[in-house]
Amino acid sequence: MKSLGSIRRKFAPWNDPDAKPYIVFENVTKKFGDFIAVNDLSLAIFEREFFALLGASGCGKSTLLRMLAGFEEPTSGRILLDGQDLRGIPPYRRPVNMMFQSYALFPHMTVEKNIAFGLKQEGMPAAEIDKRVAEMLRLVKLEQFAKRKPHQLSGGQRQRVALARSVAKRPKVLLLDEPLGALDKKLREETQFELMDLQQELGLTFVVVTHDQEEAMTMADRIAIMDKGQVMQVATPAEVYEAPASRFVANFVGNVNMFEGTVADRTQDTARITGASGAQILVENAADTVAGADVAFAIRPEKIRVSSKKPADAVNALEGEVYDIAYLGDMTVYHVRLDDGQMVRASMLNATREIDDPLTWDDRAWISFRPNAGIVLTR
């Protein structure tokens, strides 16, 4: 059986009609004065899910997180956690903990004091606190740094202290606000996997806010793509990439080529799309589009082939000129300007060290793709 993209783990309660969501946003709106940060938003997150809120800055994702933590109250609508309405419950009584973007480590306390802080608040006996702190330090591999102050730690170590502090209380939900934003690229990639392992190990529900799509794709079970205070799509990373719901989502996640046109005619499985210049392409995945509809055909660069001659077996082939080539090692990115003026981005994997069909700037070239390589978008 074929599947879209790749399957991360066998965990999909959202497909189970009997599964009860753990966190529910019901028609939540948040206004700051005239500014609408979150606009009539509904969302359901399941227990043990690693859920990512992805969007550009100002899209309302952080506000959503802060409402869950209790730092902001919704202007209207309600938020349920495990069936309980959270309205009116102050942040210090909510069974959720947050890892702050700035880490917010208390500068006047040592690492262990920072981790113990939340435990002391709930009046845990000292011996138990010591045990839990030691356990947390082990978890984040900072045993030898227990007595240090935050300013004596590296960025990555601080991040792990913040993490240890926020999971020390065993919250029902851990909220992470740009958890890896302050780390450099290499460290970020390592930490992504550490976070995933930690989530598995502790069996917690994670809600992470990020503007980094790669981060969201790597870590999350599902991603909610947000724009202007609304959710544009909630889906698994593979669905978001391979079956975006709208032009916005397709553009926001990864690179995409968009062919705008009209559905000329369609059969059960295929649709023929006519572009503005008259060029025609035959595609599948046209869903419920009807003839005459204005649509966009979205196709990812790696699903387009570039060649110097028109491939004999190609259903869809368009001619143009090589405008730019970027050699990235693992792959080569071609920018081809089609004869109707549209620029197309195509990336070809460098599976061998030598290539058979060398192309260079200003060469005539053909791009070709299969009918099921892209998706038709109506929104």
Partner 1 sequence: MTDATATAGTVATPSSGPPTSFLQSIVNRLVIIVPYVWLLFFFLIPFVIVFKISLSDTARAMPPYVPTFDISKGFGSLLAGLRELDFENYLWLAGDPLYFNAYISSVVVAAISTVLALLVGYPIAYGMARAPATIRPTLLMLVILPFWTSFLIRVYAWIGILKPEGLLNQFLLSVGVISQPLVILNTYAAIFIGIVYSYLPFMVLPLYSSLEKMDHSLIEAAQDLGCPPITAFWKITFPLSLPGVVAGCLLVFIPAAGEFVIPDLLGGSRTLMIGRTLWNEFNSNGDWPVASAVAVVLLLILIVPIVLFQHMQAKAQEQGR
Instruction: Report the interface residues with partner 1, using CB under 8 A.
Output: 69-71, 90-94, 96-98, 100-102, 104, 106-108, 117-118, 121-122, 165-166, 169
CB of 187 to partner 1, least distance (A): 22
**CA 113 – CA 299 distance, rounded (Å):** 52
The two beta strands, 222-227 and 230-235, are antiparallel
Residue with Cβ nearer partner 1 (92 or 327)? 92
Residue with Cβ nearer partner 1 (135 or 324)? 135
**CA 322 – CA 303 distance, rounded (Å):** 17
CB of 96 to partner 1, least distance (A): 8
CB of 91 to partner 1, least distance (A): 4
**CA 89 – CA 362 distance, rounded (Å):** 64
Residue of 54, 55, 53, 56 whose CA lies nearest to 25: 53
CB atoms within 10 A of CB 4: 12
CB atoms within 10 A of CB 181: 15
Query: Taking the alpha carbons of 216, 221, 226, 229 in that order, is the dihedral positive or negative?
Result: negative
Residue with Cβ nearer partner 1 (71 or 193)? 71
CB of 98 to partner 1, least distance (A): 5
| Contact present, 30 and 67 (Cβ < 8 Å) | yes
**CA 117 – CA 165 distance, rounded (Å):** 8
Place of tokens 């790696």: 302
CB of 192 to partner 1, least distance (A): 23
Residue with Cβ nearer partner 1 (164 or 377)? 164
CB of 143 to partner 1, least distance (A): 22
Residue with Cβ nearer partner 1 (77 or 91)? 91
Residue with Cβ nearer partner 1 (35 or 106)? 106
Residue with Cβ nearer partner 1 (115 or 263)? 115
CB of 253 to partner 1, least distance (A): 29
Residue of 256, 258, 215, 210 whose CA lies nearest to 237: 215
**CA 219 – CA 189 distance, rounded (Å):** 10
